[in-house]
Structure 1
Amino acid sequence: MWTYFWEAILFAAVGTFILRLGGRKSISQMTVPQLAIIISLGTVLGGEVAGKGVGNSILAAATFVGFLVVTEWISLSWNGVEKVLKGEAVPVISEGKLLIDNLKSLRISVDDLEKRLRMAGINRIEDVQIGTIENNGELGYSLMPHARPVTMGDLERVLKATFPQINIANSNNKDDIFNEVIIGENSKEVPNQLH
């Protein structure tokens, strides 16, 4: 019985290592071949557990889940381990310029990066101060000062500087949807069937 436990730990570790080498795309970002390879990997690793009896299969499945919980806990506890297991953000744009070597190391084409920029509503690479590919494969970015949208705070500062006599009311909104989460109570009446 303990042999299956240690085999399951080994398969989970090998699977994690292989998937870590595979890249940083989430399921929704994977191509059909990448998804097929991951499913095949699961089949190969799962095939080692299959056919060993119900009890041993349950033990192996529980071990896989336990392995996942332990690695997540270790990742939360130690930054170095988190970087090894999950990776870290990699810059791909700096001051409006592409970092081609980093794109190559991530195996992301310029077209793929441009698609991500368009989906984020960014029209020009030159408008991005820093762009990163996060450890989950998503695009992180900070826009150049000239390309950032105006916030209410920016607008209030301009109005106060231009029209010092103007009185701008505080915009604390009691119907803010976050108040329920922060305060812990409903700020407005919600029908019972929607709770």
Structure 2
Amino acid sequence: MPDWIIVFLRSLLAIAVLFFMTKLLGKRQISQLSLFEYITGITLGSIAAYICVEINTSWYLGVVSLVTWGGVTIGMEYLQLKSKKARDFMDHRGTVLIQNGKILEDNLKKIRITSDELLTRLRQKNMFKVADVEFAIMEPNGEINVFPRKENQPLTPKDLGIRIPHETVPQTVIMDGKILDHSLHNLGLNRRWLHTELKKAGVSVENVFLGQVDDMGELYLDLFDDTIQVPKPKTRQLLLATLEKALADVKGFALDTNNPEAKKMYRACQNELEQVITKVRPRLQ
């Protein structure tokens, strides 16, 4: 058999084995790998390359080595899932670098990180002053996480006493010009509704690159032809305008009537409408 055919077949085998081992080892990113997992990845790649091009050796020995390395790694991951002590031994614990605004020099020496490198890593977290850091820890994967002092933390709606309503993840209902029926089903919608919305926008399914429906039932479209402008949905704005018009009408009714009972009823309706509009305005603007 020609050598190039042997290399071709061995390459296909190595790819298949590596793909299978990768599926078993999970989907961690490079930055999330432990030291042993990182070494394992390099070793598996080297063995796979050796299997492909070393024609004079027995190919199955390389496969045995691949399976052995992969099996040991999977076994260690399973052990880490079951044992806290095993996780601490294999991945080490997180190391506190700054606590209560104070740099812990002894811990820097343990993990062999200089003050210059610490400052660089802090700047990567947008922290340019050590005095602004309340707590910093180096995770087992080498990432440094920083917790700023309370006065340096960004304001949130909760700090301002603003209630933000819960919002669900938009569902993709059209992708590459194809309708995704399972997404429509998850939203309680059907193709008839979708075609009605597309007709309102003046586009066909085949021209839609991506279509998403948010939790308010509004359809957002991105077309293959970027020169075509699709009108943005106005359901929220129309609903807010309708509520505000109703509020204005109720206020007018209260001013026009001379009946005390009717005026009292209109005032009560006005208060209820104002409360409703205050609650829903963040979602409708």
Is TM (by shorter chain) over 0.5? yes
Tell me which residue corresponds to 1:86. 91
Tell me which residue corresponds to 2:125. 120
Q: Could you tell me how far apart the structure 2 residues matched to 1:70 and 1:42 are?
A: 17
Tell me which residue corresponds to 1:153. 158
List structure 1 runs of 4+ shifted beyond 3 angstroms: 49-52, 184-187, 189-194
Counterpart residue identity of residue 141, structure 1: V
Answer yes or no: is 1:102 the counterpart of 2:95.
Answer: no
Tell me which residue corresponds to 1:140. 145
Counterpart residue identity of residue 157, structure 2: M
1:72 to 61, 71, 77: 77
Counterpart residue identity of residue 74, structure 2: V
How many residue pairs end up in the alignment?
140
CA offsets per residue over residues 49-78 of structure 1, 9 Å max, x none? 977521111011011111111111111111
Counterpart residue identity of residue 69, structure 1: I
> Alignment partner of 1:154: what SS?
coil
TM-score by length of 1: 0.60
Q: Relative contact order (alpha carbons < 8 A, sep ≥ 6): 1 or 2 greater?
A: 1
Q: Could you tell me how far apart the structure 1 residues matched to 2:103 and 2:145 are?
A: 14
Answer yes or no: is 1:172 the counterpart of 2:177.
Answer: no
CA offsets per residue over residues 5-43 of structure 1, 9 Å max, x none? xxxxxxxxxxxxxxxxxxxx959xxxxxxxxxx79x949
Q: Could you tell me how far apart the structure 2 residues matched to 1:142 and 1:96 are?
A: 10
Please give the root-mean-square deviation of Cα atoms over the aligned residues, in Å: 3.5
2:62 to 49, 57, 60: 57
Larger CA Rg, structure 1 vs 2: 2
Query: Is the CA contact 1:87–1:135 (under 8 Å) kept in the aligned structure 2?
Result: yes
In structure 1, list runs of 5 or more residues that go unmatched. 1-24, 28-37, 157-167
Q: Could you tell me how far apart the structure 2 residues matched to 1:118 and 1:98 are?
A: 15
> Alignment partner of 1:85: what SS?
helix
